[in-house]
Structure 1
């Protein structure tokens, strides 16, 4: 954050980690809801009841003996994603985009043999990528094909949209674009680009990489100032619905725009990071306090999304 002075950070209403942990995560998130968002399989099943779509589930591998069915299931697929249900930070996720002879082609372009994928599934079950190393299950999902209007901005990886939702209201959003530095993953700590989005319109505001402002994607060379997210209202309503689905008062909702199926939920995060503020060039605190001061909360996800668009748009 060294490109913005501490005085300006305060003036912008930046939320710091201590205040986030104490005043928002601890206060508004029931501990009993954490297992729901820390497990991607449980998340998929829970949000489906509230009309939130996710990538199609192809297989769940819970036991070692079930791995033998994986190769048969994947035989006719052009692409898929393997994920540890309890993984965090993108660890353990393997994205396959095609086949070449006896090999699968990863998103990075490298090849991997079927026995290596099966060993990867074994590692997932053993808890190699899960929180606290606890035994896990592997989920195999349909491959997300990013909408071309967004895919062109990202380097190899699928771009996603992080929306911070507070008490059911979308309060801040950013687009995350993969880079060479981030190894094709949309992880800002690893070097992905964060593009702040106007809550009112879904259009890009500012962009940062490694917490420093940029105007062009470092690998694609494309300008980041005129990005427009498709189906923006629907995405905000989808994010707002996750409040009813989980009961979490403060969370990050990660969405993608699929070329064929439109907006899809990737995962939820009960402890969303703070870099979204840098991408937007403004702080979360004023928006959080606005929601806290509401005398009459809005009861439907659509009403909450519309309120957020009207009040926080272009701020």
Structure 2
């Protein structure tokens, strides 16, 4: 369970099992390391900074490029080296820690470039997948699409779209934004229903192996499709939200029963 709460420990466990996951630029896990951290020397033009013990996307900072000495957010707003350092300091201080720990670690990763077939569905932001697994069996899946309303974040509670995906085919069969059932993305007009998720066999494979890799019998595996590396695990959640049931109109208990868990 400890490895599931800590993104750094979880990533180490996934890599040890040969499960595709995002790369690592640096980990700042102590005040000593923070004191030696120079953003201009360490960071490339594009990156993502995440709290190791964060939750619900709190504390994540993204740079999509660079202008002079400053990095650029997706909105075009500039971040100075001091801005970046101060954010990393807040992470290490535990300000975004999901479990109220007094100190956290900043995990710095390369920025993911979305698979073009998926990126074409949205106006901005990075779509991802949530696969619910019981032991090593995927039992439910959905894609999450960012919208302009969600400010480019694939967060359902902030206006993102949840789209149910059929496990046997990898095809989207239902989509909703809040209480509104959709067939098309509201910003791009792209048809969501019938969309075939790329590399579906690999998605199921890495999802099913992720929980056991970090010692979880039940989990939600978050996966992104990178342009160059294909499906990769970005996070494994020990307590995934159950909004996926409303998205897919399927019950988790029923899905578990099919595996004989409630005989």
Residue 111 of structure 2 is aligned to residue 147 of structure 1? no
Once the two structures are TM-superposed, the CA of residue 144 in structure 1 deviates from its matched residue by 0.7
Is 1:184 aligned to residue 152 of structure 2? yes
1:1-315 equivalences in 2 (<5 Å):
33=1, 35-67=2-34, 68-74=37-43, 77-134=44-101, 135-293=103-261
Q: C-alpha displacement at 1:293, in angstroms?
A: 4.9
**Shift of residue 292, structure 1, vs aligned partner:** 2.5
Larger radius of gyration: 1
Moved segments of 4+, more than 6 Å: none
Query: Structure 1 residue 132: deviation in Å?
Result: 3.4
Mapped to 2, the partners of 1:93 and 1:38 lie a distance apart of 16
Q: Where does the alignment leave 5 or more consecutive residues of structure 2 unmatched?
A: none
| Structure 2 counterpart of 1:313 | none
CA distance in 2, matches of 1:159, 1:281: 21
Q: 1:50–1:244: 8 Å Cα contact kept in structure 2?
A: no
CA deviations 1:2-41 (Å, max 9, x no partner) are xxxxxxxxxxxxxxxxxxxxxxxxxxxxxxx2x2111110
Structure 1 unmatched runs, 5+? 1-32, 296-315
CA distance in 1, matches of 2:58, 2:8: 16
Give the structure-1-normalised TM-score.
0.79
CA distance in 1, matches of 2:254, 2:99: 35
The Cα of 1:106 is off from its aligned counterpart by 1.1
Higher RCO, Cα 8 Å, sep 6+: 1
Structure 1: how far apart are the matches of 2:215 and 2:90?
32
> How far, CA to CA, are the matches of 2:177 and 2:171 in structure 1?
18
- How far apart are residue 294 of structure 1 and its match? 9.5
CA RMSD after TM alignment: 1.6
Return the structure number with greater helix share: 1
* Whole-Å separation in 1 of the counterparts to 2:90 and 2:261: 47
SS in 2 for 1:184: coil
Per-residue CA distance 1:120-160 (angstroms, 9 max, x = gap): 00000000100233210101101111100001223321110
- The answer to whether the 8 A contact 2:224-2:232 is kept is yes
Whole-Å Cα distance in 2 between the matches of residues 38 and 183 of structure 1?
26
Distance 1:179 1:240, change over 3 A: same
Q: How far does the alpha carbon of each residue in 1:200-226 deviate from its partner, in whole angstroms, 9 at most, with x for none?
A: 111110000013211121222212113
Higher mean C-alpha displacement, 210-219 vs 246-255: 210-219
- Following superposition, the deviation at residue 65 of structure 1 comes to 4.2
SS at match of 2:203: helix
The DSSP-based 3-state class of the residue aligned with 2:259 is helix
Q: 1:165 aligns to what SS in structure 2?
A: strand
Secondary structure class of the residue paired with 2:99: helix
